[in-house]
Structure 1
């Protein structure tokens, strides 16, 4: 799974998912008994595909929020740059006017040298006054030229800043608009896939449904101290609650909302989506797994569970299956393991 979702039409996504499910059921985020029926295998394959689309849809929403933030910042930069340009332009006009006046005065008195000042002066005092005025005029002209030069530089920088901010705002706006379309396509694909999976669920017999509804180990589990232990305790308290695609709790969960809420209960903020949870904290090896570690599954990083210990994990698996404990290695192929704290 790449960091930027590839745009595909809803029909293409749905067709590919259904064909893949019919051809060979992908590994589900919940181990099935060896003698599971073909209908149950098909259902778990469809729900796995739906989970991928669910995480894609959530990531597109996150991307849109990020792009909207970029757009807001770029628009604010544009306003700030415009204000700076107005100030620099006003300063340029002010100092250019001063320089023009001083230049005119200097030109008119160009022949007024020290000798001429002495010749036309009535007294020593008058001579000194005339010489002082000439010095003041020269100093004022130099200061005004410096100020004009600075104002011109500020105006040029403000113009460049405004141009850059306008370009960034335009690009961010276009990206946000594109993501709106992307989100809608993923939503349509997700709805179609979930509908297909639920239709398949309705066709399951009571035995298949019982396999899915098994709550697993519901015994009390000791948790360590610290934030990871608090997060794990929260996740374990959710055992038995249903999985619902896109749900954020508190009465139902999907895989990544459960892990996010668990760490939130421990005072730690982590992203909402599996793809970004897969980059949070630091990576640890399979042999280093500790309670509270996040285990991200599949090459596409579309499923997440939380380690209970070095062997088991608690996770929200898929619709029809309650939040439960399962063996870490039975849930699916591990992509990466992340330690959020410690």
Structure 2
């Protein structure tokens, strides 16, 4: 008789077969944990996007301020035009009333009531003067009415444009807040050692600067080393990239725009090989970040939140979009 295999033998065969099948199947890769370098790269990417949104928000605020200035001027022009129209209407009303009360004469009535040739000439002269006055008053009134209409349209247009820009400012602020939240979450995910490295203020040594306007601007920026980066901040104890550059040049007596976009058009263009102290280095195709050259190799800049104002190699900060020389 054939013997039946024992349960232990069957179970052993099943296990062996399962092992062979498992070995033949592709193994699912384990979920890879992001490296410190990857996490930092992601943080830098999110920070760059936040920096652009910050500059967009600042530009929208500048645009709104300019449009509100136009609106204020339009309202002022309208008030002047309305006052002129009111005054001229009074003048025309006086002349019209004089006409209806008999103070106006035509040539025939002047001839009929004149006592002499000289009296006739005097009456005709008065008639001509009154007619000229009336014509001029009517023309001035027409001009004033047209000016008031134009000023009204300008004021209405400026009002609508301001409302639209205000909506854009609010939307860009909402976009910025969302992006900042993502960047903050990514920053918090970094290792303690990476965060400490980002917080390091770097070279804090005394650095000689050239005389003149550019040197004053550079010295101001260097004096801010170690101070924190805060989106939208204008100093004096925290900065974003463009406010640091603007205030540095203001300290040197030169007025430049608030945003990186405005600073990318300041002064004149110079090449990378020509870079010297005081030149504004504009980064990324979006032109959303700026730094101030210390010399041909180094620049000082407010980098991003979590990183203080510090010195960095010009080429290491990011892809250069433009270089502008404000003075010299």
Both structures adopt the same fold (TM-score exceeding 0.5):
yes
1:277 to 258, 263, 266: 263
Query: Offset of 1:102 from its aligned partner?
Result: 4.9
Q: Give structure 1 regions of 4+ aligned residues with deviation exceeding 6 angstroms.
A: none
State the Cα deviation string for residues 234-266 of structure 1 (Å, max 9, x = none).
000111111111112122111011111111222
Which residue of structure 1 aligns with residue 324 of structure 2? 338
SS at match of 2:42: helix
Query: Offset of 1:99 from its aligned partner?
Result: 5.4
Does structure 1 residue 177 correspond to structure 2 residue 178? Answer: no
Larger radius of gyration: 2
**Contact 1:37–1:208 (CA under 8 A) maintained in structure 2:** no
Which structure ranks higher in relative contact order (CA pairs < 8 Å, sequence separation ≥ 6)? 1
State the Cα deviation string for residues 252-307 of structure 1 (Å, max 9, x = none).
11101111111122222222111112222233232332211212212221111111
1:236 to 219, 222, 229: 222
State the Cα deviation string for residues 38-84 of structure 1 (Å, max 9, x = none).
11111111111111111111111111111111110000000001011
Which residue of structure 2 aligns with residue 7 of structure 1? none
Matched residues in 2 for 1:288 and 1:95: separation? 73
Does structure 1 residue 262 correspond to structure 2 residue 248? Answer: yes
1:162 to 148, 152, 167: 148
Does structure 1 residue 57 correspond to structure 2 residue 53? Answer: no
Matched residues in 1 for 2:177 and 2:236: separation? 22
Which residue of structure 1 aligns with residue 232 of structure 2? 246
TM-score, structure 2 length as denominator?
0.84
CA gap 1:288/1:145 in 2 versus in 1, 3 angstroms:
farther
How many aligned residue pairs are there? Answer: 293
TM-score, structure 1 length as denominator?
0.80
Which residue of structure 1 aligns with residue 45 of structure 2? 45
State the Cα deviation string for residues 171-205 of structure 1 (Å, max 9, x = none).
11111111111111111111111111111111111
SS at match of 1:184: helix
Please give the root-mean-square deviation of Cα atoms over the aligned residues, in Å.
1.9
Which runs of no fewer than 5 residues in structure 1 stay unpaired?
Answer: 1-34, 118-129
Which runs of no fewer than 5 residues in structure 2 stay unpaired?
Answer: 1-34
SS at match of 2:105: helix
2:281 to 285, 291, 295: 295
Which residue of structure 1 aligns with residue 211 of structure 2? 225
Matched residues in 1 for 2:241 and 2:212: separation? 22
